Structure 1
């Protein structure tokens, strides 16, 4: 059975639990589960984008609550923790100066905006992540909220694709 067929056939509660590993904002998973059946991945991903766009800032903050600080290793054996470790593997660095700079950038970001720095880290080097964190510190809160919501959307999309691959 293809991933999309399995996705469409899962009981809603099971599917919503799996979707929470993609995006911890509950309304996102509920919207995707309620929109079934999807004829293909493209339509599901379009629905995921629409669900992301509909999230309020409070929903985004719920989504952020499941993300460790960049450069920190997610703990546990959950699907979400495993995915987070894989996504952030590029941010792992042996360079002490870069690691210290990431810690400092995280601290400054959290102090300025009141939440973790979120970036879709897959494929980015520690230096790219650090540069983005430093650049985003100059944003006003409204601009930064829009960027954070979009980064959450990107991560959710990537994880949803991975979930579909796992399903079939």
Structure 2
């Protein structure tokens, strides 16, 4: 059975768990699940991308709630926690103590300014790059930052969905 056939045939609860591990916004997963069956992998990925682009801010905040602070190790043995650790692992290896401390301070300042964790698509980025982005984004207004957060969350969900499909 192909990954697409398996995805289409997954019991609703198992699919819900898989999709929540990609993006902890139930509305995102429910919409994708309701669109089954998909003809091909591209259709699944396109649906996930389309749905992520129209999430409400409340849905995005739900998604953010499952993400640890950048630079902090995600706790637990869930799929989501393991993915988060993997996504941040290269960045963690590339940081010196000064950069790590500066990132902690930037995280704190960001949370005070915007009221939620700083989110960035960390895969392939060093902590110095992440720190520079955090400092830059601190200058954004609320509307601009919300759009960036939504885009970063969409990219993370897309990467994680690809992982789900690869594992089926």
Same fold (TM over 0.5): yes
Q: What SS does structure 1 have at the residue aligned with 2:120?
A: coil
Match of 2:151?
150
Structure 1 stretches lacking a partner, 5+ long: none
Match of 1:74?
74
Match of 1:62?
62
Preserved contact between residue 68 and residue 74 of structure 2 (Cα < 8 Å): yes
Aligned residues: CA RMSD: 0.8
Match of 1:87?
87
Preserved contact between residue 91 and residue 124 of structure 2 (Cα < 8 Å): no
What TM-score, normalized by structure 2, do the two folds share?
A: 0.97
Task: Measure, in 2, the Cα distance between the counterparts of 1:24 and 1:154.
Answer: 14
Taking the TM superposition and a 5 Å limit, the aligned residue runs for 1:126-137 are 126-137=127-138
Task: Measure, in 2, the Cα distance between the counterparts of 1:15 and 1:35.
Answer: 12
Task: Measure, in 1, the Cα distance between the counterparts of 2:40 and 2:139.
Answer: 40
1:16 aligns with 2:16: yes
Segment of structure 1 superposing worse, 34-43 or 114-123: 34-43
Provide runs of 4+ in structure 1 moved above 6 Å.
none
Give the superposition deviation at 1:54: 2.0
Task: Measure, in 1, the Cα distance between the counterparts of 2:148 and 2:82.
Answer: 24
Task: Measure, in 1, the Cα distance between the counterparts of 2:74 and 2:40.
Answer: 31
Aligned length: 167
Task: Measure, in 2, the Cα distance between the counterparts of 1:56 and 1:84.
Answer: 23
Structure 2 stretches lacking a partner, 5+ long: none
Task: Measure, in 2, the Cα distance between the counterparts of 1:103 and 1:116.
Answer: 11
Q: Deviations over 1:131-166 (max 9, x none)?
A: 100000010000000000000000000000000011
Q: Deviations over 1:48-96 (max 9, x none)?
A: 0111022100000000000000000001111001100000112214511
Task: Measure, in 2, the Cα distance between the counterparts of 1:120 and 1:3.
Answer: 25
What TM-score, normalized by structure 1, do the two folds share?
A: 0.97
